Structure 1
Amino acid sequence: MQYGPAVRRRKLGAELRALRARAGLTSGQAARLVGWHQSKVSRIETGRSGVKPADVRLLLDAYDVRDPELHELLVMLAGSDEDGRQHWWHAYRGLLPSTYSDFISLESQADVMRTLENSVVPGLLQTPEYAREVTRAAVGRAPGGDDALVDVLVKVRLARQDVLRSNTPLRLSVVLDEAVLRRTVGGPDVMARQLERLKEAAHLPHVRIQVLPFGVGAHVGVTGPFVIFSFTNRSDLDVVVLDHLTSSLYLERKEDLHAYSEAFDSLQVHALSPKDTLDFIAGLTDGA
């Protein structure tokens, strides 16, 4: 169990170590190839220190890594685009917690995201009005107060939704506890628009939404919401994210990933089918 920046460094370091070994190089040989001291290579591989994107590219060239997708992913873990430009969320550095920035970076590069939500609609599916109400509550801003921070956080949340509109969109699977749909956030009008947004999203081919009805009773998800990020061709980079009030925890051990994947599969089995979920949401809309 680790916090965001540490888990990102560790994953990057472990992958670079594996690529070095695959190239048949010792850490000392790799260091000489790129003009470094051997200790720098060791610190990077063990995750004890961060690494600049330019240094990652240097190592990948030394290891003769030619897979463009792997190249892009590892440079992303170091903190920038392949051409050295900063990711869009870096413009908000200083305003976003580092764990949130790490979450966004994983979300932007993952192939699949599976999430259980017990309280609110996932950020990727929120309307602007709903997002504002949830964000205001999360940061403790009363209506009419200083909304500068709320404005920024809502803008970031809406920008995150681009991962569902890209040429190769994130494949999103969501299990929503019925309480999420029953909880009126921002009043009836805001909630009605949010329900319509969910129905629209459910028709996207890369989005799967299921409601876990109250009738299921106690279930494996009662302990809290979670997110599983998966990378189709790099399963060793998969990670589970648990959100808390003041921080997020990242779980990366194989046994943790297996346990949460099994939990999500179980939740999907007990939840309404996607079609029945649409009917359920439609019923709530008609009754609003």
Structure 2
Amino acid sequence: MLSLRTARLFVASADAGTLTAAAERLHVSQPAATKSLAQLEADLGGALFERAGRKLVLTRMGEALLPRARALLQQAEDLKSEAERWRSGEDGVLSVGAGPSVTYRLLPEAVARFYRAGRTVQLTIRAGAANALLDQVRRGALDLVAADMGEAEHDPALRVHALPEEGVAALVRPGHPALASAPPERFPLATATPPDRLARQPLPWGGERPGLVCDDFTVLALACAASDHILAAPHSVMDRLMAEHGLVPLPDTPSGLRLRPALIYRANAPQSAARDHLFDCFEAAARRA
């Protein structure tokens, strides 16, 4: 039966010209090489070589099949090389989940740093709410989540690598009534923070429950630019939201809510050089934010 071992013997015999030399190259005995070649020819239903004394000469069938045998061996080497790249993190796919604030402020620079380092890994990015992303990383649908850690630090199935914390501020459209001393708690809140988290750490503006919850700050900003909603946004994204959407800060509204971004992955996940390097890229982006 044709196998990688017999394909190597076939190619080595054609290249060396004698079975003795082929056996030496492959570090097998000549009797074993003779037996394997005879079995291969029987399995293929024809002779691959004509024997002229000790010299081997390819038959027409052997000439036709030799390129295929070489291609088979090359594919096997390519398979080994690709597997090694996967193990070392230099190839394959890394599935990453990104929470709202991370997507807006850290993800672009982290990805740019990752590829500037020459990485060949394909990154698949899935943006969304932190809780939904954490469920996916627990199931193995994501390799890594970059988002507010929430309760993940208490989950023994997860590993949590904290990034610098940051506070939350309020943004509104120009001319918003709250800028003219109207009580900010009268106006609906627009936020990417889940309502259950706000119930534990309420903000000093907006009603008891948010009027708009979305995991995309661009959508939130567009809505607030056209309404009286008050946008709760991390400090690090305020300048961008103001520049791109014309929003202005709501003064004198301190918030005790702290966002705690983190890099999170399964505790039993295999080692990954690509994941570790992406960690470094997110940390570098966070230091610059």
Q: Which has the higher helix share?
A: 1
- TM category (shorter chain) comes to under 0.3
TM-score (norm 2): 0.21
